């Protein structure tokens, strides 16, 4: 029939449509490959981001090697400060004949249970024997003077503490070369009790002594050496810092 499409023409048309659709829509194989590629790309992106985060974390935390200069600097500063104080301490401990009383390395020293006193140096403890018996002695020596505190617990007997204290002073003065000290002993008043003082003279003043009567105990403070304003200040310092057992 004229004007009607033949079977070949219809078949060709269907084939053309199929090819056109096939060209516009991928097959399942192509779609699957595309999906797999997309998953791989996302994984690669995630791995890259994780690597960036790890690198950033490491860069924010300084390594041990990078901290070494800072640690060394801190140790250097600490060492310099320590050296400064050591040298300063050594300088302060260097005592000479011209070191003033206030600049001496005074330290509180305990002796005899519950008794204390300040001495200008390291102290040694020993026993001491005198005309009134045996006692204990704490002493130190610096350039120009020996400073000591002796303690005795004598039996006063009928003579009393005053006469015993003066006997102790006379015996000590005689040991230092002064046999006429008895006439120069003077009674004084100490904050802890009755005191007796004497300046020991052997051609020149060589010592200053004080005995303080505290209950049944006699405390004798002595500063032996050339008597100068410096030794007088040392004597006063020891007297004012003595805290006897009461």
Q: Are residues 49 and 162 in the same domain?
A: no
120 domain residue, yes or no:
yes
Predicted local distance difference test score (pLDDT) of residue 81: 65
DSSP code of residue 179: S
DSSP letters of 46-89?
Answer: HHHHHHHHHHHHHHHS--HHHHHHHHHHHHHHHHHHHHHHHHHH
Q: Are residues 28 and 112 in the same domain?
A: no
DSSP code of residue 243: B
Domain CATH for 143: 3.40.1000
For residue 94, CA distances in Å to 72, 82, 97, 123 come to: 33, 19, 10, 16
Predicted local distance difference test score (pLDDT) of residue 88: 45
96 domain residue, yes or no:
no
Neighbours of 206 (CB within 10 A): 17
Determine contact, residues 131/113, Cβ cutoff 8 Å.
no
67 domain residue, yes or no:
no
32 domain residue, yes or no:
yes
Q: Are residues 230 and 172 in the same domain?
A: yes
Determine contact, residues 108/121, Cβ cutoff 8 Å.
no
Predicted local distance difference test score (pLDDT) of residue 31: 47
70 domain residue, yes or no:
no
Determine contact, residues 111/151, Cβ cutoff 8 Å.
yes
Q: Are residues 53 and 175 in the same domain?
A: no
80 domain residue, yes or no:
no
Predicted local distance difference test score (pLDDT) of residue 79: 64
Predicted local distance difference test score (pLDDT) of residue 112: 87
* Separation CA 187–CA 164 (nearest Å): 13
* Separation CA 167–CA 182 (nearest Å): 9
Number of domains in the chain: 2
Q: Are residues 207 and 139 in the same domain?
A: yes
Q: Are residues 48 and 160 in the same domain?
A: no
246 domain residue, yes or no:
no
Q: Are residues 119 and 202 in the same domain?
A: yes
For residue 12, CA distances in Å to 3, 21, 27 come to: 17, 14, 22
Q: Which domain does 118 fall in, by range?
A: 105-241
Q: Are residues 143 and 39 in the same domain?
A: no
Q: Are residues 57 and 152 in the same domain?
A: no
What pTM does this model have? 0.63
What would the two tokens of residue 160 be? 């009393």
* Separation CA 93–CA 156 (nearest Å): 42
88 domain residue, yes or no:
no
Q: Are residues 109 and 52 in the same domain?
A: no
Q: Are residues 44 and 115 in the same domain?
A: no
Q: Are residues 49 and 129 in the same domain?
A: no
Averaged pLDDT in 10-residue chunks for the chain of 246 residues:
49 51 49 54 71 64 57 65 50 80 96 94 95 95 97 90 96 96 95 97 96 96 97 98 92
């Amino acid at each position: 029939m004229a004007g009607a499409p033949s079977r070949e023409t219809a078949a060709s048309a269907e084939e053309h449509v199929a090819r056109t659709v096939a060209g516009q829509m991928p097959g399942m194989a192509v779609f699957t490959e595309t999906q797999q590629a997309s998953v791989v790309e996302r994984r690669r992106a995630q791995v890259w981001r994780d690597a960036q985060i790890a690198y950033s974390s490491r860069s924010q935390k300084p390594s041990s090697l990078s901290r070494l200069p800072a640690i060394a600097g801190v140790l250097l500063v600490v060492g310099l400060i320590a050296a400064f104080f050591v040298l300063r301490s050594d300088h302060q401990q260097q005592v000479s004949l011209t070191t003033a009383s206030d600049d001496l390395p005074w330290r509180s020293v305990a002796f005899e249970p519950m008794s204390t006193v300040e001495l200008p140096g390291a102290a040694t403890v020993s026993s001491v024997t005198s005309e009134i018996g045996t006692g204990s002695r704490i002493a130190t020596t610096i350039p120009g003077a020996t400073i000591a505190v002796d303690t005795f617990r004598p039996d006063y007997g009928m003579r009393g503490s005053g006469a015993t204290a003066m006997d102790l002073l006379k015996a000590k003065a005689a040991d230092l070369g002064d046999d006429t000290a008895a006439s120069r002993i003077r009674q004084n008043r100490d904050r802890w009790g009755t005191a007796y003082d004497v300046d020991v003279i052997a051609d020149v003043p060589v010592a200053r002594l004080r005995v303080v009567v505290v209950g049944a105990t006699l405390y004798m403070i002595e500063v032996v050496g050339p008597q100068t304003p410096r030794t007088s200040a040392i004597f006063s310092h020891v007297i004012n810092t003595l805290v006897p057992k009461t």
